[in-house]
Amino acid sequence: MIVLVVNCGSSSFKYQLLDMESGGGGGRLLCSGLVERIGEGQSPLAHKKYLPDGETRSVKLEEGCADHREAFRAVLAVLMHPDHGVIERVDEIKAVGHRVVQGGEAMRRACVVGEAEKAVIARLADMAPLHNPANLQGIEVAQAFCPRAPSVAVFDTEFYADMPAKAFRYAIPEKFYTDLGIRRYGFHGTSHKFVSRQAALTLGRPLKDLNLITCHLGNGCSLTAIQGGVGVDTSMGFTPLAGTIMGTRCGDVDPAVVPFLVSKGYAAAEVDRLLNKESGLKALCGLNDMRDVHSAKEKGDPKAQLAFEMLCYSIRRQIGALWACLGRVDALAFTAGIGENDPDVRRASLEGLESWGVLLDLEKNKIRSPEPRVISREESSVKALVVPTNEELEIARATMEVLEK
Ligand code: AMP
């Protein structure tokens, strides 16, 4: 069964086409790609086709996509292209799985999206203004172009639907929770879920028996405490601004900083921008890409050195907090751009945790591989892993599960 997975940003359209086996977790990737700069005149479309022999074929096209509708049309054209594509007709796509960032308390599980669900996703846009409107646009265009394929929404927040109240409530007056929905939601849930399943497979142990801390370290960073496959706590909060330092996001700061800045004449929108776009690594050293931070650090830039140290310290702090919540930890798993590729961040984030039972194997930690792998020593009582994430495959699996129900 062919499933199209769609992840729409405000000016981007990311997709994967997968051939999914029913009843199983497996799926074969057929094509993937990204349209960028939608609405900006020229919109590059980078498309990759995966051949059965393991080879790939890439093509870069220049499209002029004024909106997501035109982007979807361009994507369908390339998917049906005689050389670059793999399908001949749109109706070969049997379902479309959509990443939706904020499901709130109303949307606790992945679901087929009809008019009522779209209204809820739209209503939740005030809590995820950068994401939900774009995610909804993806759903609208998919329903217009693939009317026979059900659209399934898979929420980033879903993995945290079973967090206990003691973990998700904030100690502010209850009406702000009941009336405005202010609580901890958690994000990157699709990635944490995928990584937890892969970690269990890599360890050769049932997920239901494991206590895990998964560390999704990319442009956005979040850590999750997972007990028996259930996300029981997260470093993130009401929005994806909380927790560790990130590329341009501040992570945890005293909330009193906000009214203090307002009292100094900053408008709410300016403070929002400051904390989301001008903070984190970028504020500390002027660079938000971790590779650039390393280059600057190696040239002796003290600000880049401090940014690196602060990032790793903030990760270690979150590991400590989640560890205390779980009580016992069987394994820590690193994923996403930094977590999968940066041995220095992994080493520095685990520094000092030897007495807690995490014994990193420094050689294994340096090995580069696209495969899930153990990077702790044999005698380490708590295992450390690197697990490449695959949010699209997880969305396709969730889509299949919803439709099979
Ligand atoms: P993501 O959001 O998962 O795409 O991750 C993006 C982050 O991963 C950026 O900060 C990149 O600098 C970082 N990243 C990607 N590749 C590497 C690498 N080889 N070494 C260090 N950081 C990397």
**Pairing outcome for strands 211-217 and 43-50:** unpaired
CB of 341 shorter than 6 A to ligand 1: yes
Q: How deeply is 148 buried, as exposed, middle or buried, from its count of CB atoms within 10 A (0-12, 13-18, 19+)?
A: exposed
- Between helix 132-145 and helix 68-79 the angle, nearest 10°, is 50
- Of 279, 132, 135, the closest CA to residue 219 belongs to 279
Q: 0.85 cut: is pTM over it? A: yes
Q: 276: CA distance to ligand 1 center in Å?
A: 18
pLDDT for residue 21:
80
pLDDT for residue 323:
98
Q: 218: CA distance to ligand 1 center in Å?
A: 6
Q: Which tokens belong to 290?
A: 């971790």
CB of 9 shorter than 6 A to ligand 1: no
Tell me the pLDDT band of 71, cut-offs 50, 70 and 90: very high
> For residue 294, which atom of ligand 1 is closest to its CA?
21
> For residue 247, which atom of ligand 1 is closest to its CA?
10
Q: What is the pLDDT of residues 198-215, one digit of tens each?
A: 999 999 999 999 999 999
pLDDT for residue 22:
62
DSSP string for residues in 310-365: HHHHHHHHHHHHHHHHHS--SEEEEEHHHHHH-HHHHHHHTTT-GGGTB-B-HHHH
Cβ atoms of 6 and 138 within 8 Å: the answer is: yes
Residues with catalytic roles: 156
Q: 71: CA distance to ligand 1 center in Å?
A: 26
Asked if pLDDT for residue 329 goes beyond 80, the answer is: yes
- The torsion of the CA quartet 27, 33, 38, 44, rounded to 10 degrees, works out to -170
Q: 292: CA distance to ligand 1 center in Å?
A: 10
> For residue 292, which atom of ligand 1 is closest to its CA?
12
Q: What average pLDDT does this structure show over 50-56?
A: 91
Cβ atoms of 206 and 200 within 8 Å: the answer is: yes
